[in-house]
Chain A
Amino acid sequence: MKLRLGHDLLDKQMMSSDDKKVGRVDGIILELHKTTPPRVVAVESGIETVLHRVHCGTKWLRAIGRRLHVRDDGAAIDIPFTKIKSIGIDVKLMMNVEEAATNEWEDWLREKVVERIPGSGKGKKAGESK
């Protein structure tokens, strides 16, 4: 089967094994070998990678992330290609949300900001997600 990386994989929505949205395929990582052809080893996800692609703001975001202790090394998140289950309109992973670990900003915001505001955890259809 042929897979056009730019058309069929890049920018697609990634869904975790528990069917939650876990970011998009923001970048694709190839490994180069001297003797064998290049091999796709992982996909990258995160605002860092998006900003990298539009050539601005990456340094700022990393600095803010480090200052707020969201992500100390400031690197983008890699998801091994072997963890991809299927590629269609969406990209399905064989990992759940925690394993994918693309939600560091989400977790930081939840712990440091959202949960400290009254009413953040009650009221709506509790815990239901699309």
Chain B
Amino acid sequence: MKKWGEIALGIATSVGGFLDVGSIATSAQAGAEYRFKLLWAVGLGTLCLIFLTEMSGRLAAVSGHTVTDAVRERFGATAFVLILLGVGASSMLVLGAEIGGTCLALQLATGIHFQWWAIPVAIATWLFLWRATFGMIDNGVALLSLITLAFVVAIFRLHAPASEMAHGLVPTIPTPDRAHAGFLVVSILGASLTPYLFYFYSSGAVEDEWDESYINVNRVVSAIGMTFGGAIAAAVLIVAAMVLAPHGISVDRYEQAGVMLTDAFGKWGFPLFVGSLGIACFGSALEVALTLAYMTAQGFGWNWGEDQRPRDDARFSMVYTLAIAVSTVIVVIGIDPLKVTNIAMALSAATLPLLVMPFLIVMNDKVYMKEHTNGWLSNGVVIVITVLAFVLAVIAIPLQIMGS
């Protein structure tokens, strides 16, 4: 019976974890500019994420090791340091984007410019990590994120056209400006597959002391949880396509997305949007900062755990403290959070193979996985989507830079 509770909670957590500044921004841009035509990218990203989180949960359940542990042990110090630098750099940008997104939500709510919110938001993020247990963060984020279901409700209120949405599930790179559409696809894939998600998931599974009896729980949680998360991201795209596209509003600034929910909810639309953006970003900021600390501590073999008092894992606590401090600089100096988001998401897609390939090799290693190694389906899906994201990133990022 306890497991059913955990399944429900796990699903809610996955939804909370999925929707972040990246998913909201990239989905809103895609919907506003290409209507339903890039819906397939959200689907593809979600599918890959389901497999990746299932794998990282299974690794934790069977071996008691996180993704970082296994990569360090199997591939050595050089590979670990490279990955830490790569993921570290892109995650710091993502963290900056999440803090920036929270600040923008506060700007929309109060009219006070986002830069002024940077330091209060950073302190709030840090204070949560300093004082709260893993369960409090995980469950709190999950519960509050339910507000983002407003986007799903909005689809029904707006009577979204089913056939056109179905067409959007067929992969195409639409005109006009295919280079830009390609870049958006890369950003969407990057946003769905931000590495912190599955690194966080495996660390969480170890914090929750999963063992082999959790293999099925893990399967259900990752499949349903990520599907729900993906559905909300898709809902953001659909709402943008129905509300923003007809008015010719392309989301160059977050403020323009603020009216997204007004058609469906009237005067409640704006507060619902601001609440969704703020909570999704704040929750993700907590998770990204924690993930950076997890990765560093695990790779070097330090004592770690969000349930421990900061004095008992001083190095672990200092890593997230530093990460928050450094990432906040991006917001304080006033770089447009939407720009930071787009760059961070595209970088995530480009660095994906660096993380996924070692992870896949571990998942096929009997020393870690015993009889629970990957099947051909998991290997196949993950390889195909990762390679696709990487190839698209290599083509689309330079084109986008040249174009603008």
Chain A interface (Cβ within 8 Å of chain B)? 10-14, 20-24, 26, 45, 47, 50, 53-54, 89, 103, 105-107, 109-110, 113-115, 117, 119-130
Contact = CB atoms under 8 A, between A and B. Distances in A.
Interface stretch (B47-55, B73-81, B152-160, B191-199): B73-81
- Most A CB contacts (10 A, CB to CB) among B65, B313, B368 go to B313
- Most A CB contacts (10 A, CB to CB) among B64, B80, B302 go to B302
A76 B30 CA distance: 52
A50 B69 contact: no
Interface in B302-339: 302-305, 307-315, 317-318
14 contacts: A26-B77, A53-B78, A107-B314, A109-B318, A113-B314, A119-B310, A123-B309, A124-B133, A124-B309, A129-B303, A129-B308, A130-B209, A130-B305, A130-B308
Given A45-B301, A125-B133, A128-B307, A13 B69 contact: yes
A124 B77 CA distance: 32
B301 A21 contact: yes
B314 A89 contact: no
A109 B314 contact: yes
A114 B310 contact: yes
Given A13-B73, A53-B77, A114-B314, A106 B307 contact: no
A63 to B, nearest CB: 19
Interface of B: 63-65, 69, 72-73, 76-78, 80-81, 130-133, 206-207, 209, 300-305, 307-315, 317-318, 367-368
A12 B70 CA distance: 9
B307 A125 contact: yes
B318 A114 contact: yes
Nearest to A23: B301
B61 to A, nearest CB: 14
Contacts of A117: 130, 310
Contacts of A105: 315
B307 A23 contact: no
A125 B78 CA distance: 35
Contact of B72 (A21, A24, A103, A121): A24
B350 to A, nearest CB: 22
Nearest to A130: B305
Nearest to B312: A129
B311 A22 contact: no
- Most B CB contacts (10 A, CB to CB) among A24, A113, A117, A127 go to A24
B311 A11 contact: no
Contacts of B314: 106-107, 109-110, 113-114
A126 B308 CA distance: 7
Nearest to A53: B77
Contact of A127 (B64, B303, B312, B317): B312
A113 B325 CA distance: 15
Contacts of B367: 89
B310 A120 contact: yes
